[in-house]
Amino acid sequence: MPVNDSKYPNSAVIELGEVDLNCPSNCQIHNTHFFGTDRQIIRRGQAFSFYARFQNREWDDSVDQATFTVETGLRPCESNETKCTFPMGRCLDQTCWSASYKIHQPKCISISVFPPSNACIGRYILNMQITSCGHTYQRCLGDFYVLFNPWCADDPVYMDNQAHREEYVLNEHGILYEGVHKHITSRPWHFGQFEEGILDICLKILDMGASYHHGSDRDRCWRNDPVHVSMVVNHMISSHTTNSIMKIPENNDYLKGTKPFSWNGSVPILQQWYNGRCRPVRYGYCGSLASVMCTVMRCLGIPSRVVTNFCFPCSIENPLGINEIFDCTGKNLCGKDKLWRYHCWNESWMARRDLNQCCGDWQCLDPTPLETGRGSACSGPTWVRSIREGELDLDYDGQHMFSRVNSNYVGWLSQNNAKKTKFFCDAWPCGQHLITKSVGSEQFEDITGAYKYELGSVKNKEAYYRAYRRIHPGYCNASNCHIDRELSSLKNPFLSDSGINMRLKMANCPMYGEDVQLHWLLENLRGENKNLKFNLSAQIVTYSGCPMDQFWKDSVNVTLGPREVKKIPLCISYSQYGPYLCDHNIMKVVAVSDPECGEVLMVSRDIVINRPPVIVKLLSQPRLKVPCTAEISFCNPLQEDMKNCVMTLEGCGLFKEPMTIDLGTLASNQQARTIVEFTPYRLGSHRLLANFGCHRFAYCKGCSKAEVCCPAGQNGTLPVSQNGSLPVCENGSVPMNGSGPVPVADPAFNSMCEYICIPVCNPNCSAGGQPVYDFVYLPAGHPLCNTICNQGFNPSVNPGFDLGCDPGFRVICETVPPATCTPMHPSMYGSMPAPTSNPVCTPMPHVVFETGPAPAQQTGGGTGPMSYSVSVPANNAVSALLTHFMAGSGPTAATQAVPTHISAPPSHPVCTPVAHTIGTPIVHTISTPMPQPAPLSAPAASISHVVCGSAPSPTAQPPCGPMATLPPQPLSAPITRGMCSPGPCPAASPQEEIQSFSAREYQSATDGSQVPSAPCVLPLPRLKDEHAQIFWKKGKFGGQLLETIWESIFKAKAKG
């Protein structure tokens, strides 16, 4: 509106119009686009920009001023740094909240806002106040989120290695390591920090944990410090009195909640906590607690990882000693101390300003509340380097973290008179194996050296002495020798001191349902006879060191001659341990000598019983928002029925919520296969996780990687290769880059091109006329394309390629008619989508047909690529070699294909008709021998021949002709389907018949002097009453290629 004030005679109040927050671009720049691009999620220490448009005139600094206000929290105020007001200028001040602008378009400015590297994290409200021509008005521009920034050098969580940032901040998939130090097992875990709603849940955790700092000097602005944020998260995981995220079952009783080991990821846990009014989720264990904390920390922008420590002591009385007590039968008695077989905690990367650290390092945070001398509490953050150096007074809970990797094991034999005696044993030191998932790999990384120096080294002893004096104030001024004498008095004597060596060695790697086979090795180290009586025992032990039932006992008299070595086999049958195993798949076998024989000797072994595998197979290439099917199978290895069998499926980016399938009862040695359909909703690399549970055990895990890509033909542009050039894949040519053709066996082949083109003879060409070819585009991830790119089937790369071998894929299609180009429908290579009445057929990738004349010979020397058609029968010995040549020989300018989805037939005689819907299980069946499949056929109406060009499609089709029979296929493997031609192949007239090559004609063709002008047929050997033919015409075919094909034919014939 105009202003009459004499100060502004020619101006009007500027009117703010549309404001574009530019969320997609900002999220991409700030590495937050994984959350989605519909919200403004930015990282501190890095500016974000948006556009402001004005309705009536341009922005004028002389009469227009703007001020921004950002605020976060329930009661924002400037004193606790949760509210800030700052003006808009011409440049940014990177030491505080600031804003600047530049002209973007007429009546439009681009505004940049800079959140400082010490800003509090959380959800902010952004307000803009405009003063124009003496008038002031305000508008709320919306909200935005501020997270920690490991890409910013000024942020305490800065991590300078991009590969490490991708692993410890952006990776949603992890691996948890379990078992014992001699038998490490692993299972996948979904962190899911970018799943919908997780960010809001993580901020809710900070809100609920705000009372942790109440009354302290950090009561106000603690959200800007990663140290104190990590302390709040650590406290909220399991130590909060009423609103902790997860509880650990007491006395291993989890009847009132979910079994701790059945969880596959953090997302369902966090969602259940949030939707349940912030009440603890029942139940978890150390692995799930550490993983949930890792999810929260990564979501907030703090690099984090899960660490597993094997032989983890939990002592109440002596921080540097762990005691285990056994009776004379070898049974482990329950005492105050516990020796955990493994324990998981979290590590987070940050620079500790309170410790004057100038750069980031790993900080140890243990969210599992453990019993200590002062009660139950979580631990951390503790600088990992301070643990190694024994500097326990520098940090939070340094004493507890040091003792957990440096305690000494002491074993005792309890006799009837309550007398305890130390026995001779070779104890494994505590904390001698700490591992975590390695960067960019599925393998584990040993990080023991980060927590302690090599055992027995000078630095290791110095650190231990330093820590011992701080833990035991009475030894503050004691000498090192005095401390050594004290430690020696606590340790068990070695077995060798008694003149006997013993160990238990595994003879097999048992799985559920199998007997445990061991070899007990004894050696007499002295020159005199040894007569000993041993008591043998086996009992179940939980991962947390709680001894369960003793299910096996025995006694053996052993006589050892001088220097004699003896091996005694031991067997524990499944019928003995099976009823007691449950979810605790660890047993402890002990051999202890009778105290009446003199010295007490003991040897023990922790044994892990492997769980049966769950096999997960994707039956089609996962594509965004396109239904995909997967097969999950499980075999009952027990000699008894499994009751109450339940399969649970989940996967970030694949399932919006976990899918549960009730399988009922599974008989002994019977296999269940389940076909499920789901629709991926996020691009990228994901995992499909499966968990099987029954009355015997709660979990058996399986997973499969799922690379979700765009739907065929919707990528927009082809990806750029490393040298910056676009790959070309058209008319059967191999991809081209700036340095020439990409080798077919190049591993990067699939990642460079979106499709592979296979030409097929067009049915609309006139008999005897110029051949016309359609081009079938298959996705680069298609199994047939993978075979083309596999160097194992490339004779030029692998000279030992056996032409008679099974190429490893199945393509069923019709016999190509003679070269007269009689009507023939194009083949559908590969797999098809599962129709609504077909639960086992696999989805078909998008197939595109492009019509055009055969490329003419190019001028200026050389010829264009040869156009040809091929039909590959099932199990053809030469099909892999011929398919290899479908990659062509050179690029041409072909028209971009238009994606078209080919409809699938409504039913298939092999598949059992079962209706299903997306996102629910289609069918689960108990496997039985498959009957011989019936021949494939399909009505003409079910085949749509799409032509992208001027050539019309045939209006009428004769009935379907003879079709090759599907060979028997195991249901466990993806079964690909092919479609037969709607019409039979009419016989060619004598004038139209093309004679086969003779040796002389072959020689003329390879010399290039007499190349036939008409299309010719290379006859291929018959195999199982099927045959294939390859068409070619004059062009840049190459004598070498002809020679290779011709030689392959004779080799195949020679093999019969």
Does the pTM surpass 0.75? The reply is no
**Which residues does residue 114 pair with via DSSP β-bridges, in sequence order?**
98
Task: Give the catalytic positions in this structure.
Answer: 286, 343, 366
**What secondary structure does DSSP assign to 825-883, as a single string?**
PPP--S-----TT-SSSPPPPP-EEEEEEPPPPPSSSS--BPP--B---TT-TTHHHHH
pLDDT at 1016: 33
Given the DSSP bridges, would you call strands 547-560 and 444-446 parallel, antiparallel or unpaired? unpaired
Given the DSSP bridges, would you call strands 41-43 and 135-147 parallel, antiparallel or unpaired? parallel
Position 405 pLDDT exceeds 90: yes
Maximum mean pLDDT: which of 255-259, 351-355, 421-425, 607-611: 607-611
- Helix (H/G/I), strand (E/B), else coil: 810: coil
In percent, how much of the chain has pLDDT > 70? Answer: 65
Are 108 and 126 contacting, i.e. CB atoms less than 8 angstroms apart? no
Q: Phi first, then psi: what are they for 525, rounded to 5°?
A: -85, -5
Position 183 pLDDT exceeds 90: yes
Position 245 pLDDT exceeds 60: yes
Of the listed ranges 446-455, 475-484, 707-716, 788-797, the least confidently predicted one is 788-797
999 sits in which H/E element: helix 999-1007
Local confidence band at 399 (pLDDT 50, 70, 90 cut-offs): confident
d(CA 375, CA 390): 23
843 sits in which H/E element: none
Condensed to tens digits (0 to 9), the pLDDT of residues 294-323 reads 999 999 999 999 999 999 998 877 888 899
887 sits in which H/E element: none
> Can you tell me the mean pLDDT for 1024-1031?
32
Are 765 and 821 contacting, i.e. CB atoms less than 8 angstroms apart? yes
- Judged on CB neighbours under 10 Å (0-12, 13-18, 19+), 457 is exposed
d(CA 1008, CA 1035): 10
Position 881 pLDDT exceeds 70: no
Condensed to tens digits (0 to 9), the pLDDT of residues 499-558 reads 999 999 999 999 999 999 999 999 999 999 999 999 999 999 999 999 998 999 999 999
d(CA 410, CA 438): 33
pLDDT at 696: 86
The residue that leads in pLDDT, 832 or 418, is 418
The residue that leads in pLDDT, 819 or 561, is 561
Cis before residue 283, ω within 30 degrees of 0? yes
pLDDT at 662: 92
d(CA 988, CA 767): 10
